[in-house]
Amino acid sequence: MAAQEMSAHETLSHLDVQGRSIAFKSLPGAPEKPGLFWLGGFKSDMEGSKAGHLVEYARAHGLANVRFDYSGHGISGGDFEDGTISRWLEESLAVFEATTRGPQIVIGSSMGGWMALLLARTLAQKAPDRVKALVLIAPAPDFTEDLMWAEFPPPVRELVMNTGKFLKPSLYGEEPYVITRTLIEDGRRNLLLGAPFAVGCPVRILQGSADTDVPWQHAMRLVTGLAEDDVVFTLIKGGDHRLSRPQDLTRLSKTVDEFL
């Protein structure tokens, strides 16, 4: 695991996960305080505004902070088209176990919300004290099935099944999202909604009312799914999918404050 010095005390390192070089940045903090662990969204990277805001929040409060890029994202190795929910979860667990100590506040955005739920559910079985809370921003569990496959018209479904991929236009850049048949089929092995499940920790959900990528009704399904856990759902009027406005970042900070 090689590391190089970044600004202040944050370091950039790489972790090998099944031959894939996963880049992560870590900030040390007081061992008696919970750390922050960031899980980004589909096709995003660890340099986004929310991830950067949490680094500054952690620095101001003396907290450890870890953020990373999934394979095929940002500066990590691997090809995006090879990515699946199972593969990215494997990387999330590997980085979590290699870089964090003690209780962690896991913060996931969009697909990162799905990752956070899967990670917490896995750890609840073998290390129940490691996840102190989940903070989910516009969480998108099951998005490959409910927000992609279910919304694809028949010609697109046929294209995915026959050619193995579909180039989905992106609202956030010139490059389209490559949606593969493998991603869709693997997503079905990781579905959470539709039946009760537990993560064994408090869950806070921040959701924008004007989110066109993950409708608030989709995120709301988590409230009933997590019937055994302490869940608070906050609907932010006028908030979009990114929830990166100054007032959104302030709300994120106040949500994390609850668990310090």
* Residues labelled as active-site residues: 110, 211, 241
Count CB neighbours of 181 within 10 A: 16
Nearest residue to 20 (alpha-carbon basis) of 57, 61, 70, 63:
70
C-alpha 240/C-alpha 137 separation (Å) is 11
Are the C-beta atoms of residues 115 and 44 closer than 8 Å to each other?
no
Residues in the chain: 260
**CA atoms of 45 and 62, how far apart (whole Å):** 24
Could you give the residue ranges of the DSSP H alpha helices within 81-180?
85-99, 111-126, 143, 154-163
If residue 158 lies in a helix (H) or strand (E), which one and from where to where? helix 154-163
CB 94 within 8 A of CB 198: no
One-letter amino acid for residue 87 of the chain: R
Geometric angle at alpha carbon 152, from 193 and 186, rounded to 5°:
50
Positive or negative: CA dihedral 96, 75, 178, 41:
positive
